[in-house]
Amino acid sequence: MFDPSIHPIIHFGTDAVQALSDLYPGRQFHWVRIPEIKDEALENVRLALSGRLASETLYSQGMPDLGQVQALHDGFWHDKDPQNSVLLGLGGGSLMDLVKVLRFVPSQEGWLQQHLDVAIEKSDCLKVPLLLMPTTAGTGSEVTPTATIWNFEKQKKHAFFGPEVLANVAVVDPVFCCSAPWLVSRDSAIDALSHALEAIWNRHQTRQTALWAIEAAQIICHELPLLEDDLDNLARRERLSEAALLAGLAMAKTQTALAHALSYAETAANLKSHGQSCAYWLPFVWQLLMDSACDAVIKENVMKAVGDCFSGPESMRDWLLKMKFSVHPLKGSEGQISQQIEALKMTPRGQNFAGFEV
C-alpha cells in the first residue's frame, strides 16, 4: 500500500510520539514548533528524545512568506552540526512547509530563490533527515513532497517541490491536535476535504487514490460537525487525523486541481487560511463537474465520498455556510469568472480537473 520511494515512513495513532525514541539514535534533534501546544504533549516529545534535543525554535508567523523563510533559512544551521542532526517539525501545514526548506543546508546565497517552482529531483547540498508531526488534521503536508511559500507583497504563490522535499518520517499522533481550537480545526478539516475531492475529480486519479480519498471525505463529513462541541474527544481527533493522512496520500499522487487553482488568489490577496479559500470554491467546482461530460465513474466516486451527507453542490454549500464559511454562489456569476476559468484551464492544476474537456 505504501511505497517508500514516494511516501515517508508513517507512524500513526495515539501515542505514536513514542516512535521518536527509536529514530536516528546518536543524532541530535533540532526542533521547530508552534507555541500553541499543551505542556503535557511537549513533555512527551522531550521524554521520547531522551536527552537528544539540541535546540528548539518557536515559529508563530503563520503562512510562510518568502522573506521570512529566506531570513530564517540563511542563518539556521550556522551554530549547528548538520552532519549529525535531525530536523523535527511540529505544527500545522505552514510550519511543516517551512521546515521542508530548512532541512536543506544552503551551499550558496540565494539558494532558495533558485529552487522555487522547479522540481528538486536531486539535492545539490547537504540534506538533513526530516521528521514531521502535524498538530492539525488538515494539510497532509507530512506525506507530500511539496511546500507552499508565499510572496504576499506580490500576491504570488511559489511551490517548493520534488522527490527530495519529501520528509523521511511522518509521526501522526492525534493527541497533538487537541490543542487546536474550533476554527483552526474546522479550516484544517475542510482543507483535507478539498484534497480528497480534488484527488477524485482529477485526471490522474487511480483506483488506490480514489479509495483513500473516498474514505477521507466520508470521515470528515461525518466527524467534523460533531467536533465543534467536543474538541477534547480524542477518538474523533484520531478519525480526522486519519482522514487528513489519507487525503494527503491521495493528493500526493494526483496533485490538486481547479478548486486549489481558484483558491490561491483568494489566499494571497486576503490572507485567508487555505481551508477557507478552498471552502469558498468547492461547491462551485463540484457543480462544474456535474455539468460536464467527464467520466461517469468520477461523478459516482464523488457521490460515494460525500453523498451520504450532501444531495449535491447546493446542500454542500448550505453545510459550509452553516459552519460560517464564505462560499461562492453556484449560479448567476458565471460571466464574472469565465475569463478566470478559461485562463486556469491552461495551468497544471486546471489541466488536472476532469471536468474540463481535453
Residue 65 DSSP one-character state: B
- Per-residue model confidence as pLDDT tens digits over 271-289: 788 899 999 999 999 999 9
C-alpha cell at 114: 533558485
Write phi, then psi, for 161 (nearest 5 degrees).
-150, 170
Cβ–Cβ < 8 Å for 269, 263: no
C-alpha cell at 352: 488536472
The reported pLDDT for the residue numbered 330 is: 87
- CATH 1.20.1090.10 region(s) of the chain? 181-352
Euclidean distance between CA atoms 133 and 143, whole angstroms = 10
- CATH 3.40.50.1970 region(s) of the chain? 9-176
Write phi, then psi, for 204 (nearest 5 degrees).
-100, 10
The reported pLDDT for the residue numbered 198 is: 98
The residue that leads in pLDDT, 219 or 264, is 219
Cell 539514535, residue?
A: 25
Q: Does domain 181-352 have CATH number 1.10.3470.10?
A: no
- Per-residue model confidence as pLDDT tens digits over 91-128: 999 999 999 999 999 988 889 999 999 999 988 899 99
In terms of phi and psi (left: phi > 0; alpha: psi -120 to 50; beta: otherwise), the region of 110 is left
- Per-residue model confidence as pLDDT tens digits over 296-311: 999 999 999 999 999 9
CATH classification of 9-176, choosing from 3.20.20.70, 1.10.760.10, 3.40.50.1970, 1.10.630.10?
Answer: 3.40.50.1970
Euclidean distance between CA atoms 346 and 271, whole angstroms = 25
pTM for the whole thing?
A: 0.93
Q: Is the pLDDT of residue 53 over 90?
A: yes
Q: Do the strands 169-172 and 104-105 form a parallel or antiparallel pair, or are they unpaired?
A: unpaired
